[in-house]
Amino acid sequence: MPTQSTVESSRQPVRHLIVILGDQLDRHSPAFHGFDSERDIVWMAEVIEESTKVPVSLPRIAIFLACMRHFRDALRSEQIHVDYRELALGEPALADALAGALQRHRPAKVVMVEPGEWSVRESLRAVVARHSVLLDERADDHFLCSHREFADHARGRKQLRMEFFYREMRRKHQILLDRDGKPEGGDWNYDAENRGSFGKAGPSDIPSPARFAPNPLTAQVIAEVQRRFPQHVGKLDRFDWPVTRDQALIALQDFIDHRLSHFGEYQDAMWTREPWLYHSRISAALNLKLLNPLEVIRAAELAYRSGRAPLAATEGFIRQILGWREYVRGVYWHLMPGYLDRNAMRASEPLPGLFWTAETDMQCLADSIGQTLELGYAHHIQRLMVTGLFCLLLGVDPKEVHAWYLSVYVDAVEWVELPNTLGMSQYADGGVMASKPYIASGRYIDKMSNYCCQCRYKPAEATGKAACPFTTLYWDFLIRHELELSSNPRMVMQVRNLARLTEARRAEIISAARELRQSLRVQVNGSNLST
Ligand code: FAD
Ligand code: SF4
């Protein structure tokens, strides 16, 4: 077999430099359409900047590098010439690395699929233009809704809502429809059946998800990441994520066969030291493009049609991918770059230091953040109704919240993380993603989990020694935003409950919230942040 250097020396001038980014690991991507291994080169780069512009956690750095290096090796095994810059060799920034590749190879044209992140797209376009090279930027066909289709959907609407978008997507892709083209079972959405909690007994016999022990290549990445980023948060001793397409397909099938049927029912439930429950664990594989969303959706629909999963669970799961995932991408591209600067609730508190250490008496935060740092994973309700809710109620600057979410999860990429964080969880977009702020007191967490019974705080109490900080901050949030919330029809009940509080009670709550904020600020200043 010829080595990489003999291939290089015998090559003709480079026709196309095919740019493959860390979240574009799809062999069938449009970037490879028309690929000629005699004349074209694939270029990939690991860059330090991607890990340090926010202090990225070790699991997230490791999953990207492990997936990229496996993809590189798979291409090379097809005799494709890959110019791959490992961290050790690489330039600090992606645009600089590409500039170096353009000088080295002098291609006639750069071919790339549109990057998923706005600033990456802009910087790569600029560097190619600066070198006066032709750029063939191709639409990303991984997604089921194009930018144009989303713009058509959004045109003329005062409000964007996922539910209407989702129905259009179901019709367009013929998913879960009956013979008359109506929604299977008569309803578009079975969410009302998907709000179960485990009760006092807790979950039992949840099948463990498929796990992938690190092979030598992944083990090498883990060792390098540990050596290279000693200051960064996170652990790698339990790293077992799928890092190749074959592994991702096994993970998908394992979910469909063993956990999909209870997915919907327990979608919102939480339980101490049970990070996975009935969730699929496929978000990173989807976002890095090891899996295609349509194949995931079809696999779930097939399970329903063959009687292996109930309709409510299947619809609930499909809605996350065909609905939410496509919708947040549409919102991101529709509203960037200005979206990043939105702060409708005028929030300015610093992120508490406990987000980087998980050291707190609040059991819900200790468990959700603890597993996040250890595994790079928390499920949707932990992200939305524990960590996200705490930041929203406390009034943390949305940019700080965004930076945290982008740095700690293995599936974090800006197009999906930003609308979920800034829009859905922090209401910083003033209602584009959600029709009202997702606020709740500690009672909600008590209903959906076993966290509170192990906690020194009491979810029903807003003031006093045992007051639950969520409950204190919930009332304080209503008081601080009473005027603007009272014009939102979906907040009527909560604002009405607030109106029942006496002035003296309000003053007690405001004072308790002020003290709480003060103590959390002290923690930030005193903690040893990884940045
Ligand atoms: P499951 O619960 O099994 O769901 C199946 C799939 O549906 C997921 O793999 C994912 O691809 C998709 N999905 C579910 N909910 C959403 C959603 N709200 N938006 C988009 N896709 C969704 N998801 C990311 O992929 N990357 C992120 O960086 C990210 N950041 C988030 C930040 C916040 C504040 C919140 C509230 C949610 C965020 N999500 C993000 C969405 C969701 O929490 C994760 O997709 C999910 O927890 C991943 O775990 P899973 O694969 O086991 O998902
Ligand atoms: Fe969290 Fe409050 Fe429950 Fe403690 S009592 S676990 S702080 S919601």
Q: What is the pLDDT of residues 227-237, one digit of tens each?
A: 999 989 999 99
What is the per-residue pLDDT for 159? 80
**What residue's CA is closest to ligand 1, atom 43?**
380
What is the per-residue pLDDT for 89? 64
What is the per-residue pLDDT for 524? 59
Look up the pTM and report it: 0.95
Residues contacting 121, CB < 8 A, separation 6+: 114, 115
Nearest ligand to the C-alpha atom of residue 460: 2
DSSP secondary structure string for all residues of 363-428: HHHHHHHHHHHHHS---HHHIIIIIIHHHHHHTB-HHHHHHHHHHH-TT--HHHHHIIIIIIIT-T
Nearest ligand to the C-alpha atom of residue 423: 1
CB 361 within 8 A of CB 221: no
Q: Is the CB of 279 under 6 A from ligand 1?
A: yes
**Average pLDDT per block of 10 residues along the chain, 531 residues long:** 45 90 98 96 89 83 98 98 86 89 96 97 97 97 96 88 94 96 95 81 90 98 95 95 98 98 92 95 98 98 97 96 98 95 97 96 98 97 98 98 97 98 96 93 97 97 98 98 94 95 98 97 53 31
Euclidean distance between CA atoms 408 and 400, whole angstroms: 13
* Cβ neighbours, 10 Å, residue 483: 8
Helix 216-228 × helix 58-76 angle, to 10°? 140
Q: Strand, helix or coil at 505?
A: helix
Atom of ligand 1 nearest to the CA of 411: 26
How far away, in angstroms, is 380 Cα from ligand 1 center? 6
Q: Is the CB of 272 under 6 A from ligand 2?
A: no
Atom of ligand 1 nearest to the CA of 283: 9
Would you give the DSSP letter of residue 322?
I
Q: Is the CB of 324 under 6 A from ligand 1?
A: yes
Amino acid residing at 347: A
CB 101 within 8 A of CB 17: yes
Atom of ligand 2 nearest to the CA of 362: 7
Q: Strand, helix or coil at 467?
A: strand
Euclidean distance between CA atoms 312 and 331, whole angstroms: 26
How far away, in angstroms, is 281 Cα from ligand 1 center? 9
How far away, in angstroms, is 146 Cα from ligand 2 center? 42
Nearest ligand to the C-alpha atom of residue 255: 1
Atom of ligand 2 nearest to the CA of 451: 6
Supply φ then ψ for residue 138, to 5 degrees: -105, 145
What is the per-residue pLDDT for 7? 46
Nearest ligand to the C-alpha atom of residue 384: 1
How far away, in angstroms, is 69 Cα from ligand 1 center? 25
Atom of ligand 1 nearest to the CA of 388: 34
Q: How many CA atoms lie within 13 A of 426 on its CB side?
A: 32
Residues contacting 204, CB < 8 A, separation 6+: none
CB 296 within 8 A of CB 321: yes
Helix 162-173 × helix 147-154 angle, to 10°? 130
Atom of ligand 1 nearest to the CA of 378: 47
Nearest ligand to the C-alpha atom of residue 455: 2
Chain Cα centroid distance, residue 383: 10
Supply φ then ψ for residue 387, to 5 degrees: -65, -45
What is the per-residue pLDDT for 90? 61
Contacts of the segment 520-523: beta carbons below 8 A, 24+ positions apart: 520/349, 520/352, 520/354, 520/394, 521/349, 521/350, 521/352, 523/352, 523/353, 523/354
**What residue's CA is closest to ligand 2, atom 1?**
364
Q: Is the CB of 270 under 6 A from ligand 2?
A: no
Residue 337, preceding bond cis, omega within 30 degrees? yes
Q: Is the CB of 367 under 6 A from ligand 2?
A: no
Euclidean distance between CA atoms 43 and 274, whole angstroms: 40
CB 176 within 8 A of CB 167: no
Q: Is the CB of 409 under 6 A from ligand 1?
A: yes
Instruction: Quickly list H helices, 46-111.
Output: 48-52, 58-76, 94-105
Sign of CA dihedral 325, 329, 330, 335: positive
How far away, in angstroms, is 381 Cα from ligand 1 center? 10
- Quick one: tokens of 133? 């090279």
Q: Is the CB of 416 under 6 A from ligand 1?
A: yes
Atom of ligand 1 nearest to the CA of 286: 11
How far away, in angstroms, is 386 Cα from ligand 2 center? 9
Euclidean distance between CA atoms 425 and 416, whole angstroms: 13
What is the per-residue pLDDT for 51? 65
DSSP secondary structure string for all residues of 239-267: -----SHHHHHHHHHHHHHHTHHHHTTTT
How far away, in angstroms, is 180 Cα from ligand 1 center? 32
Q: Is the CB of 380 under 6 A from ligand 1?
A: yes
Atom of ligand 2 nearest to the CA of 459: 5
CB 37 within 8 A of CB 14: no
